[in-house]
Amino acid sequence: MLARANRKIEGFFYKRGVEIPEIRTLLRNQIYLTWTGIVIALIFGLTSWAFEFIVGALLGGLNFYALAKIIQQLIFVRRGAVVALLVSFYFRLLFTGVLLYAVIVFFKANIVALLSGLSVVIVNILIFGATLVGQKFKEA
Amino acid sequence: MRKALLTILNTIAFIALASVAFAGEAAPEVISMTSIATALGMALAAAGCGIGQGLGLKAACEGTARNPEASGKITVTMLIGLAMIESLAIYALVVNLILLFANPFLG
């Protein structure tokens, strides 16, 4: 069942231009970790906490997805790659800032829940890094 | 000796300033200082992250140019690095937004 879900999610990302398998794995794990966080929050009866966690995780996840998509192309651009990355970075930061402003000011979101959601990407990367420890790579 | 004296004087200055800041509830000076602090904090965070990302990308492009077969692994490593750098900017953004709009010390 898990293998089928993995295939479905990875197929979804592959269709949207994420060609490197490791990046697809990272994006898939991001979804799983977000779900785990929501389930844990709901088990403890933290409904609003779960909502704010989702907002944070979605923001972090979308940023990560956009970054994953752009760097696949950037690495092959010979000129102007740094400018493209910086423009994309500042636009995403602006979008994230506006959304975070709305959530903090208008919806009075719980900051801890929001930061926990935003930290899902970091947790995902740390787990991915931990799985790589001890693996041997062939020198190219 | 000089170092110790400077440290002590600095600490006293910070403590004195903090007490002034807490005493004046939402005083105009405090609000203006908070605004300057948030603007500076966000500018430093964004500029630092931008430079860091640019340097990372430059190194990755050079690595791919030297060894095009390793581009897949280089891209994954770069993504991890860039995501880590970017999350720092997002954390700085959250802290600055809290300071500006949801500051617990301003009541």
Q: What is the pLDDT of residue B22?
A: 53
**Interface list for A 60-79 with B (CB within 8 A):** 60, 63-64, 67-68, 71-72, 74-76
Nearest to B54 among A22, A59, A85 (CB): A85
Q: What is the pLDDT of residue B44?
A: 93
Place B58 in a pLDDT band, splitting at 50, 70 and 90.
confident
Place B41 in a pLDDT band, splitting at 50, 70 and 90.
very high
Tell me the nearest-neighbour CA distance from A69 into chain B, angstroms.
10
Q: Which of A83-92, A123-132, B37-46, B73-82 has the lowest mean pLDDT?
A: A83-92
Collect the ranges in chain A with pLDDT lower than 70. 75-80, 134, 136-140
Whether pLDDT at B40 is above 90: yes
> In this complex, do A93 and B93 lie within 8 Å of one another by their Cβ atoms?
yes
DSSP string across B70-97: GHHHHHHHHHHHHHHHHHHHHHHHHHHH
* ipTM summary value: 0.76
- What are the pLDDT digits (tens) for A98-137? 998 899 888 888 888 889 899 999 999 888 888 877 676 5
**What would the two tokens of residue B102 be?**
């949801």
Q: What is the pLDDT of residue B12?
A: 60
Q: What is the pLDDT of residue A137?
A: 59
Nearest to B94 among A114, A125, A137 (CB): A114
Q: Does A121 touch chain B (CB under 8 A)?
A: yes
Q: What is the pLDDT of residue A134?
A: 66
Determine if the pTM surpasses 0.80.
no
Q: Does B102 touch chain A (CB under 8 A)?
A: yes
> In this complex, do B90 and A60 lie within 8 Å of one another by their Cβ atoms?
yes
Alpha helices, DSSP H, located in A1-140: 2-15, 21-43, 47-74, 81-101, 111-118, 120-132
Q: What is the pLDDT of residue B57?
A: 83
> In this complex, do A89 and B57 lie within 8 Å of one another by their Cβ atoms?
no
Crossing angle of helices A81-101 and B71-101, in 10° steps, is 40
Distances (CA, A) of A31 to A23, A62, A112, B92: 13, 11, 20, 24
Q: What is the pLDDT of residue B43?
A: 92
Whether pLDDT at B78 is above 60: yes
Crossing angle of helices A47-74 and A120-132, in 10° steps, is 60
- What are the pLDDT digits (tens) for B3-21? 776 777 666 666 555 554 5
The amino acid that residue A36 corresponds to is T
Q: What is the pLDDT of residue B11?
A: 66
Tell me the nearest-neighbour CA distance from B86 into chain A, angstroms.
8
Chain B residue with the nearest C-alpha to that of A129: B80
